[in-house]
Amino acid sequence: MSKNITLPMLLLLLLLCGCSQDENKALNSETRFLLDTACTVSADCDDETLSGAFAVCEELERLLSRTVKGSDVYRLNETDGFVSVSDDTLRLLEKSVYYGNLTDGKFDITVCPVSELWDFKNQIVPSRSEIAEALKNVDYHSIEIKENTANLNGKKIDLGGIAKGYTSSRVMQIFKEYGIEHGMVNLGGNVQTLGTKTDGTAWRVAIQSPQGGNQYLGILETSNQAVITSGGYERYFEENGVTYHHIIDPKTGYPSDSDLTSVTIVCADGTKADALSTSFFVMGLQKAESFYENTDLDFDVILLTKDNQIYISEGIAQNFTSDYTVNVLKK
């Protein structure tokens, strides 16, 4: 499927379409550049409430960015010993350790020293020796948390693989506190919805295709769910016939060499969806399928393999339309 509009605009159109013109006007919507991406917030609310939602996004960026001087993450990375941090940062550190344990290290926020070696802007492949040296400083087990403080014990962290999902869930929390019934947040294609659209129908979310451009894998109808996708197509370069993407395997220090090209996690918790989408991409199809079939966690998946086969969990299969070959996963 190919449309002559850009994907971010396509996502927004799909999220808002299906309502009458009057109902669309009931959704107050604004887009700002936050968390290194376009952030769109839409809800049946006034300007003050919408500004409150963006204030949460701005505060989390101030706390969680590793490049903003004075942020919690910046101070943790630059300080030996325990550092006092915010409740939000503590929650994310605890969740990061939890998902590290849950995925056998496929999710590891201390992979930062290795990630920094991979220069996607200047398209530089680090040497084997550089990667081997950096891997010595990758181990999320080193993170210590005591009350409102944390100690990285010489490690460095990057919360980029979980922060956007946490942010979208925090926006949903603000919406609920204000009594909002219909809303969504779109952080660079990572979407979380509250309730239905104002006409009572489900939100329609386009799942981006790794082929890029204006193409997408299919359309998912959903409500009260986060829909978060990870794929190597987001940032990559080619050298000597080899494609290097930005999702690093914490065990090898190289871009994940799995048979998956796209992973979408669908669940009520944006934090969970963000962490698992990255982890499943690194796992590959067989391990991701086994994890899904044997876990008690509540979530759904859409997996795309290199041979363009879609594997989707049975819980959302009836709500997904696609031109690709679709295989249903059952627990």
Give the β-pairing of 300-305 and 260-267.
antiparallel
E strand spans, the chain: 28-34, 37-43, 83-84, 144-146, 149-151, 183-187, 190-194, 203-208, 216-222, 226-230, 236-239, 242-245, 260-267, 300-305, 309-313, 320-321, 325-329
From residue 105, give the alpha-carbon distance in Å to each of 108, 283, 327. Answer: 6, 10, 28
pLDDT digits (tens, 9 = 90+) for 27-53: 899 999 998 899 999 999 999 999 999
In this prediction, residue 14 has a pLDDT band, given cuts at 50, 70 and 90, of low
pLDDT at 23: 44
pLDDT digits (tens, 9 = 90+) for 170-212: 999 999 999 999 999 999 889 999 999 999 999 999 998 887 6
pLDDT at 211: 75
Q: Is pLDDT above 90 for 4?
A: no
Average pLDDT score over residue span 227-256:
86
Neighbours of 22 (CB within 10 A): 9
pLDDT at 17: 44
Q: What is the DSSP string of 2-25?
A: B-SS-HHHHHHHHHHTTS-HHHHH
> How many DSSP H helices and E strands does the chain contain?
11, 17
In this prediction, residue 89 has a pLDDT band, given cuts at 50, 70 and 90, of very high
Q: Domains in the chain, please, with CATH?
A: 62-151 (1.10.3980.10)
Q: Is pLDDT above 60 for 222?
A: yes
